[in-house]
Amino acid sequence: MSVPDELLHLCWAHQDPSGCLDQVPCSWCPFSSTCIPNLSKIQILAPIYHADVCPLLSERWEIRTRLLGTNISTITFLTCIISVLAGLAIVAIVAGAVGISRKVRLRWKHRTDDWWRVWNYSPFRWLRGWRLRLVDVQSTDSTSPLLHHERDVHDGNLET
């Protein structure tokens, strides 16, 4: 990261965090106690784009900026943001699971005797591509005849 000499003189002259953060283009590196020029648009995220933002590599993610003051570092800021987003994602997943389980439970309560379904190809929609639709399977009673007309063995009459 190349920095003009005037900014170096402006920032390096401060030896305390509050004086450093009073200057607009400066940020504070706490381990080395240095005030450094920071020309990033979002100064708190400067370590993402510039590995050498602070003099010591170990304090790269500990940079303090004017936006959040001396108590919030980059790693604290990113941890907070990721935690909030992960919490929202978990809430969304749980809400989706509850909604799906309610629909499944409702369909299970109101099912009919022929609730089994199979997939069938719809031949009338071949222009739109292969489409699958659900088809009801009729239940058959084990005592009902397999054929419509069955001969009565005893009197020779046809039953319908």
pLDDT per position as a tens digit, 105-138: 888 777 766 555 555 545 555 555 555 555 555 5
Check residue 23 and give its pLDDT: 81
Check residue 13 and give its pLDDT: 86
CA-derived radius of gyration, the chain = 36
Question: Distances from the Cα of 3 to the Cαs of 37, 42, 43, 104, in angstroms?
Answer: 7, 16, 14, 62
Average pLDDT per consecutive 10 residues, the chain (160 residues; last block may be shorter): 77 86 88 90 89 88 86 91 98 96 84 58 53 54 57 51
Q: Is the dihedral of CA 38, 41, 46, 51 positive or negative?
A: negative
Check residue 78 and give its pLDDT: 93
Check residue 116 and give its pLDDT: 59
Check residue 67 and give its pLDDT: 81
What is the value of pTM for the model shown? 0.58
Check residue 160 and give its pLDDT: 47
Check residue 8 and give its pLDDT: 83
